[in-house]
Amino acid sequence: MNKSKIIATNRKARFEYFLSDSYEAGIVLLGTEIKAIREGKVNITESYVSSHMNEIWLNNCHIGPYSAASINNHDSTRPKKLLLHKEQIAKLSSSSKMSGYTLIAVKMYLKSHRIKVQISVAKGKKLHDKRRSIKEKDQNREMRRRILRDV
């Protein structure tokens, strides 16, 4: 049984985008980056995924410096290569080229001692869509309160 420990999540993703297809990708990291991620010094809120020359890259993912590292520490926002199958890379590349769609990192987690990233094809929400999702969330919260109060 493979247990996975969630290291970082992109909480803004579900509010800002409609998420459709999700993929699990491995990530190429340096030694100090792995240790910093295990310490929890990672932020994927502003990160996005791009394709370049039949490769998928994670951009703008901030990994803080490792506390026990020497002067030779890693660059905190360098692009990181994602590991996927060729068919998945082709699908993601074609999806990202469609108008209005982008690729974003949804969460980063530890699975069988390996760091994985869940990426999704996303379409940006308009302002009225965001308002509707806030309204639905408030209504659901209010219904749960009434049910708990009545029980």
- What is the mean pLDDT, run by run of 10 residues, along the chain of 151 residues? 81 88 92 87 91 92 82 81 94 87 93 92 87 91 90 73
Which structural domains are found in the chain, ordered by start?
4-125 (2.40.280.10)
Q: Which pTM was predicted?
A: 0.80
- pLDDT attached to residue 138: 92
- pLDDT attached to residue 39: 87
Phi first, then psi: give them for residue 15, nearest 5 degrees: -85, -40
- pLDDT attached to residue 2: 63
Question: Residue 27's Cα: distance from chain center in Å?
Answer: 12
Residue 4: both structure tokens together = 């996975």
